Structure 1
Amino acid sequence: MSVTGVEGEERNNFTTAESKQIRARSLRLLGSLLRPVRWRVTAAMLVVVLSTAAQVAGPALIAYGIDRGLPALLAQDWFPLAATGGVYLLTGVIGAILIAWYTMMSARISQAVLIDLRKRVFLQTQRLSLEFHESYTSGRIISRQTSDLDAIRELLDSGINQLVQGLLYMTFTAIALVTLDGISGLVLLGSLIPLFALTRWFQVRSQTLFRRSRTASASLIVKFVETMTGIRAVKAFRAEKRNEEVFGGLVEDYRKVNGRVIQLFGIFDPGLILIGNIAVAVVLLLGGFRVVDGQLAIGALLAALLYTRRFFDPMEEMAMFYNSYQSAAAALEKISGVLEEHPGVPDPVAPVDLWEAHGAVTFEGVRFEYQADRVVLPAFDLRIPAGQTIALVGSTGAGKSTLAKLMARFYDPTDGTVLLDGVDLRRLHPKDLRRAIVMVTQEAYLFSGSVADNIAIGKPDASPAEIVAAAKAVGAHEFIENLPGGYDTDVNKRGGRVSAGQRQLISFARAFLADPAVLILDEATSSLDIPSERLVQQALQTLLADRTAVIIAHRLSTVAIADRVLVMEHGIIVEDGAPDDLIDGTGRFAQLHAAWRESLV
């Protein structure tokens, strides 16, 4: 399934075939989640059957106590009435114990299923390729892990219990009523006709409303996450008022759809009560005449009235189950769509090991397009010998970052092959690929934790001495030592305790600690000030000496340390040579360099 297919799930208009496909996909996911706990589910079903039978026995025992126990008591025989009371009390205790047991069992089952599902979503979103994450907004991913999983949790924790207990209770109650008095059973059967019509009316109208409610809720989350993530841009461009209007509109949409849901329940709930009251009234009327005629015992009539009334009690809870079910079903559809998404960059079926990479990179007949009508690299051939430092320059949109992403195998070429030491990247073992090629971007993302933890991402088993050595190599040691806790300082979310330039230096230390054969720097010095950039350049001259390096930079000062400069325009290399040779020439790089020199003045 494509990313656009997943996005399509946020809409309400599906063809019949698409709806069937989505439902089948959701059922497959549900089956795979329940399969590991199927025996526990079976045991829980047995317990709830026994507990429901114990609860339903009450009115029949009351009828027996009235019709048999009271006449015996008048004859000075107290045993039938006492025995009936004792059995009634015993069934109540047994039912309560079994219900408590079932509640605990179902809670353990739901938690096991939720843990499994939460892990699957997290692992899958990590496994999916960069293409997916660039098309699927972060807010929607967060919605899958929060509101959607909460909807499924609500269904598993209470909704399923309501459905199972309600269905069993209604079934056992109907059987008991028919066994006790067939005519009252026929009255109950007749009440099922308007009950079915009302329930069907509710289902048809609520299905669309619940789906709209989930979509409206997801839109709220997406807007909130995007606003908070981009709060600097919001503040910089004074977009608060506009965001307030947009968010207010989304809130209003959510309010309206929930208002319609409430109106739906405002008709459904009273309708259930009305049908139940009419059924009880008819049973009472017919039963009263039959009691007078001696065709029905008064205890049996009382039990029939209790059974008829109790038959409708679970309906309101089951209606709430349908609410939970619709929300959970919509959530399960979205989650199953993400889980069935296939990585655009799949792992090789039979991976080739490359225990020690040297760093020779080759592009052979590479063609790449993000979309069918957007070709970025029309035809590309390039050979980078091991240990050579390459600088990629060119105007924005020339294809430099795309080239780097292909080299790091964030994407696969549409046609052609990218090789590392003669091995196609598509066949290389993922562990060997990630160990051999490291890419540092201008984002310089830091995770919650200490500075040392963030540097150690490059080598999780690194010693403190190795971490410090990596920081010293890129000129980060001094500012880290000046932090409140030194290397143990918590950088907080998104590196809030350090500046943008300092975050970049930490990301450099992380990359150098990984010690890759190929190091790609994609605008990695853009956040550095001039003194920090000079420190990094000094470190790069030493640290890149024995490895292949590809440097993408608009600051041409970084190009000075390169062995070779490639000038790209529209996905094609238009110049290739040593920096000094190109500067002395009259080509594109000479013009870029001259313009850069003038900007410094």
Structure 2
Amino acid sequence: MSGTVHGVAGEDRSDYTKAESKAIRSRSWRLLLSLIAPMKWRVILTAVVVVAQTAVRVLGPALLGLGLNAALPAVLEGEDWGPTWLIAGAYAGTAIVGAALLAWYDMLAARVTQTVLLDLRTRVFRHTQRLSLEFHETYTSGRIISRQTSDLDTIRELLNGGLTQLVNGVLYGVFTFIALVIVDWQSGLVIVVMLVPLTLLLRWFYRRSQLAYRATRVISAQVIVKFVETMTGIRAGKAFRSEPRNEVTFGKLSWNYREANMRVIRLFGTFEPALMAISAFAIGIVVLWGGVRITWDEFSVGLLLSVVLYVRNFFTPLQEVAMFVNSFQSASAALEKVSGVLEEGLSVPDPTKPVAIETARGHLLFDDVTFGYGEGRTVLPHFRLDIPAGQTVALVGTTGAGKSTLAKLLSRFYDPTRGAVRLDGIDLRNLDPGDMRRAIVMVTQEAYLFSGSVADNIALGRPGASPEEIIAAAKAVGAHEFIEQLPDGYDTDVNKRGGRVSAGQRQLVSFARAFLADPAVLILDEATASLDIPSERAIQDALQTLLADRTAIIIAHRLSTVEIADRVLVMEYGEIIEDDSPEALKQGTGKFAQLHKAWQDSLV
């Protein structure tokens, strides 16, 4: 279960073995092909258009050479303007048709690009939502944001402009070479000879840029992670005056990012001058040999003009090939990261044959459950617990005893290593996911509120609930009074993370959300921890209402919340060491009695 998460985490590095690099590239190309496959006919049409546009462009130098050789002498000797107008019209026609085809290609390519990005962005969002809690606890939010923003933008740049650069560089170069050979095969031989140093140069540039761009994607993600982490934890940062330390750390990451980009720039600083030198050398040879042949009356000035233009046109687009390699390497590195997320398997998969449960009663059974996080120690060894429907059970114990782990297993954030967690006799792994989410609801200490109104956040418990039902839920848990005092009442926008309401008020909203959901099983994981003691006492009645007629599991360090439970379980090292009613345990001499006495002494 942990291996897949570690596998993804390990991909944010640049030192791959050859086998790893090959496997990752293969995976990335499979992803790209799967995105393009539904649009194969549109892609084919785009390819046909671009081939036609490139072929039309290649006619230009040949027409100019023909004009010098045939049309111009006709004007000078006999004042016959017919060939001139014919060639000029053909040249203008190629320009107009080429421009029209280029505009058509741009539109087709843009539609393909935007469709691919829409599909990819949706896939990443949908898949990351479905991934288990284990993944999200390992894979930081900053890295997810990097996948959805900078990595997808890099892929967009490749699909938008990079493919055009490739076409101009490769296809136009091939067509130009063919035309050159047709016009003058001897000049074509010069290009063939120049291909040797050109191939070595391109091979060197490709290999070096591949490593360089992979490093830039890794460091780019690290910069985004640090920025998101700092802004998310800004309150803690200000509380501990960590701004100078954060500035130093971020400065180092930014410097590393700069250095990674400078390595890419230095590659171009070597590649482009070398390419220009090969091009100049080839043109010089062609001009020299053409001039010699003109003196021998074996060549003409018009043909020499055509040949020089073709040789220049052959090398000039190669700079665009380098720019394509630039986009391609950066996009390949980005695609590797995105495909890594999409390849991440579900450690909590949906059942292949889900079992439906229309109305859950709430009977829970931990049937010989063994569980541990990843490669760490076993938290629950051969754990068994039977909770009858409608019973309120409180879990107490020291930190690390396994209380929250029980809640996560019951909410199916994780699956047991061995054994099963059952609801009404059905293994949660076989239960229909929709039915399970309606039957089991957890209220956590965080009490997260999403952007939107207070009413929207309460309605999250049951989408489609009427305003009257939302207000009734808020009244049931004691949240109605403070909501009415907000600027716009239930329509008040809570802002990011519920910034307009206090921690205690956010918790009351989360209680209202749970009450509206009306689950058969309710889990309160330190749900009253953010409330002060007077507020906690004030909502005891609300809790009684919230927990009535349903199975409830309360995890709390404050023993005042435990008082409302029918049964108290004291846990230690993943085992239940005490199990009885609160009153019976308080009168005893065990662990709960000691904890309760210590809690009462702290109040005094």
Q: Which TM-score band applies after superposition, normalised by the shorter structure?
A: over 0.9
Identity %, equivalent residues: 65
Match of 1:567 in 2: 570
**Residue identity matched to 1:450:** S
- Equivalent of residue 537 in structure 2, options 530, 534, 537: 534
Q: TM-score, normalised by structure 1?
A: 0.99
**Residue identity matched to 1:267:** T
**Residue identity matched to 1:519:** L
Match of 2:413 in 1: 410
**2:301 is aligned with 1:295:** no
Match of 1:388 in 2: 391
**2:445 is aligned with 1:442:** yes
| Cα offsets for 1:254-286 (capped at 9, x unmatched) | 111111211111111111111111111111000
CA contact (8 A) 1:390 1:565 kept: yes
**2:124 is aligned with 1:121:** yes
Match of 2:72 in 1: 70
**Residue identity matched to 1:58:** G
CA contact (8 A) 1:184 1:283 kept: yes
- The CA deviation at 1:164 is 2.0
**SS, match of residue 2 in structure 1:** helix
**Residue identity matched to 2:551:** T
**2:551 is aligned with 1:548:** yes
- The CA deviation at 1:16 is 2.1
Which deviates the most, 247-256 or 7-16?
A: 7-16
- The CA deviation at 1:71 is 2.0
**2:20 is aligned with 1:18:** yes
- Equivalent of residue 598 in structure 1, options 590, 597, 601: 601
- Equivalent of residue 237 in structure 1, options 237, 240, 249: 240
Q: Distance in 2 between matches of 1:29 and 1:358?
A: 44
- The CA deviation at 1:4 is 0.8
Match of 1:57 in 2: 59
**Residue identity matched to 1:21:** A
- The CA deviation at 1:532 is 2.5
Equivalent residue runs for 1:204-283 within 5 Å: 204-283=207-286
| Cα offsets for 1:149-168 (capped at 9, x unmatched) | 11111111111111123211
**SS, match of residue 378 in structure 1:** strand
**SS, match of residue 412 in structure 1:** coil
CA contact (8 A) 1:446 1:495 kept: yes
Match of 1:103 in 2: 106
**Residue identity matched to 1:274:** A
Q: TM-score, normalised by structure 2?
A: 0.98
CA contact (8 A) 1:474 1:535 kept: no
Structure 1, unpaired ranges of 5+? none
CA contact (8 A) 1:451 1:489 kept: yes
**2:144 is aligned with 1:141:** yes
- The CA deviation at 1:324 is 1.1
CA contact (8 A) 1:389 1:562 kept: yes
Match of 1:496 in 2: 499
- The CA deviation at 1:382 is 0.6
- The CA deviation at 1:531 is 3.1
Equivalent residue runs for 1:120-519 within 5 Å: 120-519=123-522
CA contact (8 A) 2:477 2:545 kept: no
Which deviates the most, 25-34 or 371-380?
A: 371-380
- The CA deviation at 1:298 is 1.2
**Residue identity matched to 1:290:** R
Q: Distance in 2 between matches of 1:17 and 1:265?
A: 28
Q: Distance in 2 between matches of 1:49 and 1:373?
A: 58
Q: Distance in 1 between matches of 2:223 and 2:86?
A: 60
Q: Distance in 1 between matches of 2:64 and 2:149?
A: 48
Q: Distance in 1 between matches of 2:535 and 2:163?
A: 60
**2:95 is aligned with 1:92:** yes
**Residue identity matched to 1:7:** A
| Cα offsets for 1:175-217 (capped at 9, x unmatched) | 0000000011111111111111111121122211111111111
Q: Distance in 2 between matches of 1:47 and 1:284?
A: 34
| Cα offsets for 1:62-84 (capped at 9, x unmatched) | 11111111222222321111100
Q: Distance in 1 between matches of 2:489 and 2:319?
A: 60
| Cα offsets for 1:462-484 (capped at 9, x unmatched) | 00001111111111111111111
Q: Distance in 2 between matches of 1:334 and 1:257?
A: 18
**SS, match of residue 90 in structure 2:** helix
- The CA deviation at 1:530 is 2.5
**SS, match of residue 371 in structure 1:** coil
**SS, match of residue 365 in structure 1:** strand
**SS, match of residue 543 in structure 1:** helix
Q: Distance in 2 between matches of 1:407 and 1:134?
A: 18
CA contact (8 A) 1:366 1:381 kept: yes
**Residue identity matched to 1:23:** R
Q: Distance in 2 between matches of 1:144 and 1:213?
A: 14
Q: Distance in 2 between matches of 1:459 and 1:419?
A: 24
CA contact (8 A) 1:456 1:510 kept: yes
Which deviates the most, 69-78 or 402-411?
A: 69-78
Q: CA RMSD in A?
A: 1.0
**Residue identity matched to 1:522:** D
**Residue identity matched to 2:417:** T
Q: Distance in 2 between matches of 1:107 and 1:162?
A: 14
**SS, match of residue 386 in structure 1:** coil
| Cα offsets for 1:273-330 (capped at 9, x unmatched) | 1111111111100001111211112111100000101111111121111111111111
CA contact (8 A) 1:162 1:317 kept: yes
Q: Distance in 1 between matches of 2:83 and 2:558?
A: 98
Q: How many residues align?
A: 601
- The CA deviation at 1:366 is 0.5
CA contact (8 A) 2:455 2:470 kept: yes
**Residue identity matched to 1:169:** Y
| Cα offsets for 1:440-467 (capped at 9, x unmatched) | 1101111111111111111011000011
- The CA deviation at 1:371 is 2.8
**Residue identity matched to 1:451:** V
Structure 2, unpaired ranges of 5+? none
**SS, match of residue 561 in structure 1:** coil
Match of 2:33 in 1: 31
- The CA deviation at 1:2 is 0.5
**Residue identity matched to 2:25:** R
Q: Distance in 2 between matches of 1:542 and 1:495?
A: 25
Which deviates the most, 126-135 or 539-548?
A: 539-548
**Residue identity matched to 2:472:** A
Which deviates the most, 188-197 or 402-411?
A: 188-197
**SS, match of residue 559 in structure 2:** coil
Q: Deviating runs (4+, > 3 A) in structure 1?
A: none
CA contact (8 A) 2:9 2:138 kept: no
Which deviates the most, 434-443 or 370-379?
A: 370-379
CA contact (8 A) 1:48 1:165 kept: no
**Residue identity matched to 1:292:** T
Q: Distance in 2 between matches of 1:277 and 1:536?
A: 84
Match of 2:48 in 1: 46
CA contact (8 A) 2:401 2:573 kept: yes
Q: Distance in 2 between matches of 1:354 and 1:172?
A: 66
CA contact (8 A) 1:475 1:532 kept: no
